[in-house]
Structure 1
Amino acid sequence: MAVTTGTLYIVATPIGNLQDMTPRALDILNAVSLIAAEDTRHSGRLLQHFNIQTPTTACHDHNERGKSQRLVERLLAGEDLALISDAGTPLISDPGFHLVRLAREAGVRICPVPGACALIAGLSAAGLPSDRFAFEGFLPAKSHGRRQRIQALAAEQRTWMLYEAPHRLLECLEDLLELLGPERQVVLARELTKTFETIKGAPLAELVEWVRADADQQRGECVLIVEGAPQPDDGDALDPAAERVLDILLAELPVKQAAALAAQITGLKKNRLYQLALGKNA
Structure 2
Amino acid sequence: MKALRWFSILIVAFVTAPMFIVVPMSFSHSQSFEFPPPGYWLGYYEAYFSDPRWTLPTLNSLLIGLGTALLTMMLVVPATFALTRDNFRGKSVLNLLLILPLTVPHIVVALGYYYYFGELGLIQSRLGVILAHTCLSVPVVYLIVSATLKGFDQNLERAAQNLGASPMKAFFLVTFPVLRPGFLAAALFAFVHSFDEAVVSLFISGRDAATLPRQMFDSLRMQADPIISVVSTLILMAMILALAAPRALRCIRSTQRPSKETQTSPLPGGRLENPC
Of Structure 1 and Structure 2, the greater helix share is in 2
TM-score for the superposition, normalised by structure 1:
0.18
